[in-house]
Copies of this chain bind each other. A is one copy, B any other.
Amino acid sequence: MGRTREFDTEAVVERAVEVFWRLGYEATSIQDLVAATGLGRGSIYAAFGSKDGLYAAALKQYSERSGAAMAERLDRDEPVRVVLRDLLLHLVDQTVDDPERRGCLITNSAVERLPRDRTAARVVGTSLDRTAEAITLVLRRARERGDLRPDADVTAIADFFVTTIQGLRVQGKAGADRRRLTAVVDTALAVL
């Protein structure tokens, strides 16, 4: 009973992601979100409770989608070096192809909102952990296949690549060009 909702929550959150991604949390006003989503202020508050609530929803949606995309990219039956190189180079492409240089919402959130925002801390933490786990899995398979030294510390290497990803995001924001970022990727792959 009652009036039915006129908007699609997922689509609205997607619009919110775009704004938060471009401007960050603090620099985004409710007015910006009203303009981007097409919803009235009241509807936003009825649906998400607060600016923080909508930010949390946006961060979660971004985390899930980017996590799924990354998992798909890692789930290929090719040599580790190829898989990881493609993953990192794809990230470089994303970075340099984006004229707004938004970087990664997870990274941006970590830097701008942590450790103040506990919800963001949780989402960021699990997002990075999931990425590390996914990479660990790929490394472990490679080790069993003999593609990696038998004594390779796969979790440490996975954490290393997660760190490299964060670093590339920041370097991208700082304006590094494709050549430089590609050289960094190839250097990083030398740890394997």
Contacts and interface: CB of A to CB of B under 8 A. Distances in A.
A166 to B, nearest CB: 4
Interface stretch (A2-10, A43-51, A140-148, A154-162): A154-162
A188 B191 contact: yes
B112 A174 contact: no
The residue among A121, A164, A170, A183 with the most chain B CB atoms within 10 A of its own CB is A170
> Which secondary structure characterizes the binding site on chain A?
helix
Interface string A72-101: 000000000000000000000000000011
How many of these chains are in the complex? 2
Given A112-B112, A173-B111, A190-B191, A163 B164 contact: yes
Contacts of A159: 171, 176, 180, 183-184, 187
Interface residues of A, number: 45
Interface string A166-178: 1111110111100
A163 B167 contact: yes
Interface in A29-56: none
A26 interface: yes
Interface string A101-118: 101000110111011000
8 contacts: A107-B111, A110-B170, A111-B112, A111-B173, A115-B175, A156-B184, A166-B167, A190-B191
Q: Which 3 A-B pairs have the closest CB atoms?
A: A167-B167, A26-B26, A163-B167
